[in-house]
Structure 1
Amino acid sequence: MPTSQRLSPDRVRAWQTQIGALDPIGDNSTRLFRRTGVDGLANYLPALEMVVDDPTEFDEVAYWRPLSDLLVYVLIRTPCTMRRDPALIAEYPSQYAIVGTQTFAGGGVLRQDGQELPYRHPNHLLVVNNNLPYEHTAYSVADLAGLWIPLELLGYDATVGQVELGPVVTDTPLARAAAAFIRNFAYDVAVRGADVDPDTELAAIDLVRAAVGQRRAADTFADLQNRPVFVREATRTLIEQNFRDPAFGAESIAKALHMSRRHLYRHFVDTDETPATMIATRRLERARELLSHWENAGLDAIAAASGFTSAATLRNRFRAEYEMTPNEYRRGAGGGHRQGESSSTDPEGGVR
């Protein structure tokens, strides 16, 4: 006979000891639920669909406590899939985001808004918009602790159709700090009956907002990295800021944009320029400006101020681009352009 997957009394007792259920710190009442087997699934929250391989083996122990702004929960549950489809959302609309973390090593996957976000380790933070269809599958026994937070307190409007908050699975340092705070907060509040003041509720909400904001910013940047217009504009900005540094090159740009040199160059395949030619062009433009206005400056000083490693490099690059030496250009600029006389060069330094 196969071994039962239900939660044994010893496992539940060990878990309750871990979360402090045997050591209350306040007199506030909490709600304790035990949902087991087919009957437990039949009496689950109607707004959620629970799917398990063997309904007779389903088992969950949960603590639950409503606060002024939040709903706080702590639970242990056998492997399952929790689902919200459009029909359930239409029948049971929600204005909450569900935030969760766990301490048991294990894994699962969160699917929402066309994204599939797997996780395989503890101490991360999951955030799911309960007003959009989603599916969350846990592959092993999970000990979850977290919050139901009104979407508006996270800066989103739940009254409009598609709320911007998408699924979040993050394990950044900030998210790990938020997860630790939320886990201990949930233990004390939902399990041990602690008193809670409004400032502490707001601190928990602010931590989640910060972690979600950090993740959204990272996702936005990752998305922008795949857009040629963004990469080209970022490249121009970096060149303008750094071209005077002789060590600055295409590798520097790729590193600043967190991509390989090859990936960087892919964003320029349909243009007539590359990051390297853009850097060279900007240095030559600067040298030409200085040659026109620094009448007494030597070529070494102009080369250094323009990002060239030496006067010889400037001279060779200048001749290759404009078919004249820097000194020939300077004589033309000083004797022709600045005095209003004719010159063999056009305003951009080219040959007529």
Structure 2
Amino acid sequence: MVATKFVLSSALLAMLVSAAANERRDQYNPVDVIVNGAKSGMINARQQVESLVRGFQSNDGHPTADAVKAFITGLDGQIDNSIGVVADLLSPVTFGASKAVEGAILGPFFQSLTDGTEVAISNLVGMPIDAVLGGSIQSLANNMNKLVGQAQQLQVDQKIVSNMARTQQRLAARVPKGSHHKRDVGVMEGVTSTVNTASQSIDTLVSQLQAQGQHASPAAISAVIAGIDAQIDNAVGNVNNLLSPYANSLSSTVSGVLLNNFFQSITSGSEVVLLNIGTGPADASLSASLNSFARSMKNAADFAGKYNLQDQQTQLININHRIHLLIKQ
């Protein structure tokens, strides 16, 4: 009798352990993590686009050409990010699980992107389209076309997909004929790709430094400074080459939309580096790194000034000044 009880208890214990293990696996299912992340990303993208539209429509009803360019560039950036979010749902790993994404999320998500694009189209009526605007329109049309394909794969309501397709066609029709616009959209995409890569690389370097606390070793600080220097040098050189034909036609509004994330990463990353160095005399081994860092800040400040981004230029000049104070101590 005792032996029987022991066997039953052991079996019950094994079942409980197995159930608990299964529950833990369910809780940390990587597919669920990706799907939930995509849901969150789509909700956030929808909110960002709707906020962008509200901000654009809050003017007096007669937006300037610069305001339209900035709106289209910002909208295109949000849609470009959204394509990556939706791509996660369409990956071989998650495609089956993506059916779990409710229509209540998918429908409004795709509809908000369509509505934002319609706002852009309505404000292009009668507006002269220069090289910069033409490139932005073409880029937006290309991204909308990708979204239509993704919506079809996710089996979004056919009415929404049809509306998206019609909107994309209307937008594409606004691009003036001429091969130079293919070059223009390539330039804008090249700028976006360059600054996004640099921003992400700087953010990664800074995160690694932050993981060590506020008193990282001089060697670690030097390595991060070298990485930031390289990203600034590469991005500034590439973007200058890409945008040189447009330097006189880019307003500070449009330049800000294109380059803001890049400058934000530089300034916030530099603050973390300076925080780790502290306010006292810098370690002697950091001397060469700080001199290089100061040159990079000046390079970035001059770059911001070239595109009339005065706020960013002022921030970078201030950081450059603080680095020089550390060097002199």
Which protein is bigger by CA-based radius of gyration? 1
Give the shorter-chain TM-score range: under 0.3
Task: Work out which structure has the larger RCO, using CA pairs closer than 8 Å and 6 or more positions apart in sequence.
Answer: 2
| Superposition TM-score, scaled by structure 1 size | 0.23
Structure 2 length normalisation: TM-score? 0.24
